[in-house]
Chain A
Amino acid sequence: MSDIKERAPNQLMIFGIVGGLLGIYLTYILPLAGEQLGEKVAIFLKTIAPVAGALGAMCAVVWGADAVRRVAKYGLGTGVPSIGQIAMGMGIVAAMFGLAIVKTLVLAGPIVALITASIIGFIIGWFAQNVIKMKIPVMIRCMTEIAAAGTIIIIGFSAAVAGNFEFANIIKLVFDNGVILAVFWVGAVAVLHPFNACLGPDEKQKRLLYLAGSTGAITMAIVGIAATMTLGASGVITLIIGIILWLIFYKKFWDEVYNDAASVVGTGLIPKTEA
């Protein structure tokens, strides 16, 4: 383990928070900037803005997957999926709170959501560690990180479908038509799947992060399909970029698997036995 260079948790945390928030805020700022720059630029920026939200959420997926990896390594006893689901559960509660509570101060929404998620995650982590007594040293920190990543994922993908992160807008375009369920579930799978698929004695962070990139990208593609319904052209761009990123990351993951495997052999077809 020690001879393999790994990305530090803090590095990934900064990547997730900064990348995630940047993407989310770009969905709001790009159209505003466009209005200052003239009509043609405005239309262009307004079309590509929602894509940034999905890209930001992808950064959070990578961060969240690594946090899941660090905590689930200890063996939760309930399977890795449970932690992905609690991440989204905490994330969605915090996201709705953050976006709704700020009212006219729209820009503060995602940050309030992030802070709320961290607090809820910290409390659940503290209780898991000290009341339920799970005896996992990284529990509190990882639960906080997972909740925060969950809320960025929810807001990011919701912004990609709704165009921006104003709560009224998200209610109309994400909640009323049920897209939030897809965001919730596919987002949860994106976070939990990488470690669930890679766990084991030969698990390597690099391979897991590439897989996290690919699950994030496929989520982006699915969100793109939903966004095509709500936003039209922006959705198509999200869908296409999602598929391209998925192909890139999946190829990288594939290469890593080939690299790490002792040998790769074809088993051929199952031989037909004679009766």
Chain B
Amino acid sequence: MVAIDPTIITNILLIAISGTLICIAVHFIPVGGAPAAMAQATGIGTGTVELAAGSGLVGLITASYMYANEPTASMVLVLAAGAMGSMVMLASTMFAGSLIYAFGVGVPFASAQIKKDPITGTRQDIYMSKGTQGQGLPTVCFVSGIIGAALGGAGGGLIYYVLVKLYSQSVLIGPSAAAVAGVFTMGVFYVNAVIPSYGVGGTIEGFHDPKFRRVLPKDAFTSFVVSMICGVVAVMIGGGLI
């Protein structure tokens, strides 16, 4: 039997974990899909994948920026840079969206899934318009979104960190490690952003949504397995196993 280098297994596991982080992140982000675009559901009015990928890819850019300027940076710093970029991106998206919901559409922010906002304690049901499932972005959704963005950015940063190190040692890829690692990260990111969006069925409000607890375990398990396969593939591209 061929002895497998423990760093290879660590790398594969790290990629699997980061894929799972991205998957968990998607559950935190308040996405309302098309109903939210018409202010008939809580959340930002676009698809899960668009939001998760949008914030995650900004995280990827900030993480790679950190790595490019400080190649000796520890893993924590690269992950923090990714999380920060992602959080800034999603916070500004949610803020701009909130401005439009409040002053453009003119709806009070309310969640349909809970009676009281767990953070501010404000009652929600009295602000709900009839026939809708809430509107806008209540405080709890905003906070949940920020947590989700941090996880997603850190996840994207982690894959990039692992791969760029791995590929810069490869004979075949060598100097283009950043480009190849970035593109691969993007591929894994999209796969892991779409899987949970199938699980949540298009809309989720955040960690307070009952759906969160119901779908998170099976989505996270799926993402872990799929990301692990992607991890094996990624390591083999670098020429690690053969």
Contact = CB atoms under 8 A, between A and B. Distances in A.
A172 B33 contact: no
A100 B197 contact: no
A180 interface: yes
A120 B197 CA distance: 18
Contacts of A180: 179, 183
B229 A83 contact: no
Contact of B202 (A77, A101, A116, A120): A77
A184 B47 contact: no
B106 interface: no
B218 to A, nearest CB: 5
Interface in B14-57: 33-34, 47-50, 53
A90 interface: yes
B33 A79 contact: yes
B221 interface: yes
Interface string B157-170: 00000000000000
A142 B20 CA distance: 24
Nearest to B218: A131
Chain B interface mostly: helix
A228 interface: no
A128 B195 contact: yes
Interface residues of B, number: 43
Q: Which of A77, A81, A167, A168 has the largest number of chain B CB atoms within 10 A?
A: A77
Interface stretch (A35-43, A91-99, A248-256): A91-99
A99 to B, nearest CB: 9
B202 A78 contact: yes
Given A77-B198, A96-B183, A89 B237 contact: no
B172 to A, nearest CB: 6
B191 A90 contact: yes
Given A78-B48, A116-B233, A132-B222, A92 B202 contact: no
A217 B188 CA distance: 27
B191 A89 contact: yes
B47 to A, nearest CB: 5
B202 A123 contact: no
A44 interface: no
A168 B190 contact: no
Given A92-B186, A171-B173, A132 B219 contact: yes
Nearest to A171: B176
Contacts of B172: 100, 103, 167-168, 171
A259 interface: no
A82 B236 contact: no
A92 B183 contact: yes
Interface in B193-233: 193-195, 197-199, 201-202, 215, 218-219, 221-222, 225-226, 229-230, 233
Contact of B194 (A78, A91, A100): A78
Given A78-B197, A100-B172, A127-B226, A89 B48 contact: no
B190 A88 contact: yes
13 contacts: A78-B194, A82-B194, A85-B194, A86-B190, A92-B184, A93-B188, A93-B233, A127-B195, A127-B226, A132-B219, A175-B180, A180-B179, A184-B186
Given A79-B34, A127-B226, A167-B172, 8 more contacts: A77-B198, A79-B33, A86-B195, A92-B187, A96-B183, A132-B222, A168-B172, A171-B180
Nearest 10 CB-CB pairings of A with B: A89-B190, A86-B194, A77-B201, A77-B202, A92-B187, A89-B191, A175-B179, A127-B222, A93-B187, A78-B197
